[in-house]
Amino acid sequence: MNKTDLINNISSKSGLSKRDVENVLNGFIGEITDALAGGDKVQLIGFGTFETRKRSSRTGRNPQTGNTIEIPESTVPAFKAGNKLKEAVN
């Protein structure tokens, strides 16, 4: 399912216009992005938690040349599924 499919499904189930659903979805994604960029986490009880994690620096290998390279430390987004979501998937 892509973003357009999600908008169409929510629109048909909720009775809201596709434009309204798209605005809400874009706002939702924007707020999560802003929170993570600010170092906060977003917890949706039963669904899951969006947070950031530190990935330490490590040594990698360039697949084309075979040379080793140093990959710097970075912060990456992460999602941990909640119990209700886990149960629904199983």
Tens-digit pLDDT profile for residues 31-79:
999 999 999 999 999 999 999 999 999 999 999 999 999 999 999 999 9
**Residues 54 and 86 placed together within one structural domain of the fold:** yes
CA distances 84 to 10, 28, 65, 88, Å, are: 20, 20, 46, 6
| DSSP helix/strand/coil, 17 | coil
**Residues 51 and 25 placed together within one structural domain of the fold:** no
pLDDT band at 24; cut points 50, 70, 90: very high
**Residues 21 and 56 placed together within one structural domain of the fold:** no
Number of domains in the chain: 2
**Residues 58 and 22 placed together within one structural domain of the fold:** no
The answer to whether residues 11 and 1 touch, using CB atoms and an 8 Å cutoff, is no
Residue 80 belongs to what domain range? 45-90
Cα-Cα end-to-end distance for the chain: 19
Query: What's the chain's average pLDDT?
Result: 96
Burial of 35 (0-12, 13-18, 19+ CB in 10 A): middle
Which pLDDT score, from 0 to 100, does residue 35 have? 97
**pTM reported for the whole predicted model:** 0.80
